[in-house]
Amino acid sequence: MYGSAVNSIMVICFAMSMLFAFHYGSYFFSMFIAFSFVPMMCGYACFAEKEVKLAGYVSVAFAAIYAAIILLVYFAQLTTVRLNDLTQQTAMLLDFQQYGLLFNYDLLGYAVMSLATFFAGLTVKPQTKADRWLKYLLMVHGVFFISCLIVPMLGVCKADRPTWIGVAVLEFWCFYFCPIGILSFLHFSNCREASQ
């Protein structure tokens, strides 16, 4: 429950940081989206019924991979990139704003996150209308796997593209993902009451 609540708050903080072009704030909040996402996915594994327990474990494994990638990307932005004078070539690889190596790793991380939500969705046995929405949102979020995996390979994202496009995409993601955290909180609350 607490992981879900923190996740929702961090997604909102991330969205606000993006709106105000506060890059380092968005990196910081992204780290805490990752920190809170892992326990949220663990909740799905914990409350999964026996026949879908494996899907819950798979969601936890993908959540851990996602968190590792994301934490490396954004920790590098908050430390190495922010605190050092990088050469142009190094900045092209490491600076997230240059759409280089670490940007591509970031998209890989979100591709894996999408897989985690898809498998978490398989564990939800809807008892309420909110649970039905939650299952739907989790599983549809899995579709982002395809775009997040393919876009870096196609070289679509370039530093010379208008920044508003990236901001609009991320704001859409926040608008989509925030309800997942809220509905997860409600789902886990109901699961906890049912297990007592």
Quick: pLDDT tens for 70-109. Answer: 999 999 999 999 999 888 889 888 998 888 999 999 999 9
Check residues 122 and 92 and name the one with the higher pLDDT: 122
- Whole-prediction pTM: 0.92
Structure confidence by residue, pLDDT tens digits, 8-42: 999 999 999 999 999 999 999 999 999 999 999 99
Q: Work out the pLDDT band at 58, boundaries 50, 70, 90.
A: very high
Split into its structural domains, the chain has a count of 1
Q: Is the dihedral of CA 66, 125, 185, 44 positive or negative?
A: negative
* 161 to 77, 97, 156: CA distances (angstroms): 20, 11, 9
Question: What is the C-alpha to C-alpha distance for residues 28 and 25, in angstroms, rounded to an integer?
Answer: 5
| HEC per residue, 28-45 | HHHHHHHHHHHHHHHHHH
- 196 has pLDDT over 70: no
Q: Is the dihedral of CA 39, 142, 145, 55 positive or negative?
A: positive
Structure confidence by residue, pLDDT tens digits, 131-168: 999 999 999 999 999 999 999 898 877 767 777 888 89
- 195 has pLDDT over 80: no
One DSSP character per residue, 115-132 reads HHHHHHHHH----SHHHH
Residue 192, pLDDT score: 79
* 175 to 43, 62, 72, 79: CA distances (angstroms): 22, 22, 25, 29
Tell me how crowded residue 27 is: count the other CB atoms within 10 A of its CB.
22
- 122 has pLDDT over 90: yes
What residue numbers bound the domain in which 54 lies?
A: 2-195
